[in-house]
Structure 1
């Protein structure tokens, strides 16, 4: 059996529960028949409601399996110091190997997404996850959040160089363990905010450097958002600059990736949609040819007639309802 088939045969776990047992925590898979241990170790599972959360620690994975769950709109950093971790959100997947060198990745979710993670028997993992809820984060970023490509892009992601500051903060968080009293909670929360302070430049700089900014592409979901935006504003003023500004993207990046995924330029798409709307209105007798021309963005009916005939093979007089 090949590795792909073997991976597909592994059980997928949807519900898990973390329980405490003496000096360790155990993550159990839950089903209606039994609760099976899948991970054990000294783990942190701490959340400041509607703000941020900290997960991770030192653990040993007990079985080969997959965990499937969901996560809310948030910015998430995953830092692997030891062991291997395969995980992802929706169709996005990462493979971090801390046995070779510590690795970290920062992911931005503008909406809820599915989360999946592989569990590998006898894998010893030292890692942390910090999750910063989008509403909490954006309330502090202000206008910076709406103008930065990273914070505006669903499934936006970047590998983070593990500086000594970030690595030391990760180790300090792990050493905190699960906080039990007010002082230890304050310490853990303080370290989480210091980590955010250390990570922010890596995300924010992506909005300031044009080469990095150009590397962002429109995901399939993002294309749907752009198409919906165009549809809502067909009767108004639509320009590439206004659309790019609305989605916090550069003009050139929007043009290039829209054409790659939609198969046409944005201007051609807008023109075709307006012409098709005009054709439908003429067929239903809802407007005159002159009115249809203006609604389609043509100041001169003659130019509208030329474009209409080029698109549909007949002049607009042929489709007007008698």
Structure 2
């Protein structure tokens, strides 16, 4: 039997957009709030495609909400100097109270994952996120004979207090204007790499030699791109033919290569990812069972309940947040 309504005071936001209003950046929701601001402040958003991205700033959260998005395979550093932040990837979840103890968290994603983040009205946040794409990381590790095993484990993470040097580096990043020329780009990229260096000092030493077979081949890199594409389009219609066409592959070849690397069929993978996302949203009270069923691609809640129970051993009503 379906549970009651999802929490209406903490709506889910799937898409956001940053705009400039009166010399300040505003993050606008594009889902349940129609063009409603959810965060405002002095924000930075800098990206080198297929390499890394820097985003964050000093902001004030304007509503109680919850952001759900997808992220590709990457190594991600989150540093919170002030304010509180609750966020996570798939089932992994963190809470940082920067007012009590500034903290940095490094998370490694070897495959695409669902990102979720809470937004709390009146929360003033000072933070930065550094995202380094998987291929950027692996291209550097391939030159090492004894790298950190951390980078080969999905959802591995390290938490650490913010050292005085890291705090200084993060504040320097946040004081940078949006890079517009070569020298300012070099400056912010140099600061970001120094943060990575500081964070990696907290990683445990590798206990085994590097397995060269773990390096992505041209094919496995292509499959990583396929996984990321699927993650970004989970809420849309996904067929093997449309995915194959997007990557200029035949459907039969895509299915064969995908199964050899992932271990299951594309349709099975899509179904698993949608069910896992539905489970997370139900646990957070973001959707009703009917909404979760629809978002997971099931036209009838009864069919969704059967698939959910088969995947997790319990019916969806057991995980609904009340």
User: TM-score if structure 1 supplies the norm length?
Assistant: 0.60
1:136 counterpart residue number: 136
The structure richer in helix per residue is 1
Q: Larger RCO: Structure 1 or Structure 2 (Cα < 8 Å, ≥ 6 residues apart)? A: 2
1:194 to partner: Cα distance: 1.6
What are the residue-to-residue correspondences of 1:194-273 with 2, within 5 Å? 194-203=194-203, 205-208=204-207
1:51 to partner: Cα distance: 0.7
> Greater CA deviation, 5-14 or 115-124?
5-14
1:21 counterpart residue number: 21
What are the residue-to-residue correspondences of 1:41-60 with 2, within 5 Å? 41-60=41-60
1:123 aligns with 2:123: yes
1:30 aligns with 2:30: yes
What are the residue-to-residue correspondences of 1:1-322 with 2, within 5 Å? 10-31=10-31, 34-142=34-142, 144=144, 148-203=148-203, 205-208=204-207
Q: Write out per-residue CA displacement over residues 21-75 of structure 1, whole angstroms, 9 at most, x where no aligned residue.
A: 2321000001387211000000001101111110100000000000000111111
For residues 129 and 106 of structure 2, what CA distance do their matches in structure 1 show?
10
Q: Write out per-residue CA displacement over residues 227-277 of structure 1, whole angstroms, 9 at most, x where no aligned residue.
A: x99x99xxxxxxxxxxxxxxxxxxxxxxxxxxxxxxxxxxxxxxxxxxxxx
Shift in CA distance, 7/91, structure 1 to aligned 2, threshold 3 Å: farther
For residues 8 and 198 of structure 1, what CA distance do their matches in structure 2 show?
41
For residues 27 and 33 of structure 2, what CA distance do their matches in structure 1 show?
16
Q: Write out per-residue CA displacement over residues 197-227 of structure 1, whole angstroms, 9 at most, x where no aligned residue.
A: 2222223x34249xxxxxxxxxxxxxxxxxx
For residues 145 and 17 of structure 1, what CA distance do their matches in structure 2 show?
42
User: Are the aligned partners of 1:145 and 1:152 in contact in 2 as well (CA < 8 Å)?
Assistant: no
For residues 61 and 50 of structure 1, what CA distance do their matches in structure 2 show?
29
- List alignment gaps of at least 5 residues for structure 2: 209-259, 265-322
* Equivalenced residues, count: 208
> Greater CA deviation, 87-96 or 163-172?
163-172
Compare CA radii of gyration and give the structure with the larger one: 1
> Greater CA deviation, 6-15 or 109-118?
6-15
User: TM-score if structure 2 supplies the norm length?
Assistant: 0.60
User: Are the aligned partners of 1:42 and 1:177 in contact in 2 as well (CA < 8 Å)?
Assistant: no
Shift in CA distance, 8/79, structure 1 to aligned 2, threshold 3 Å: farther
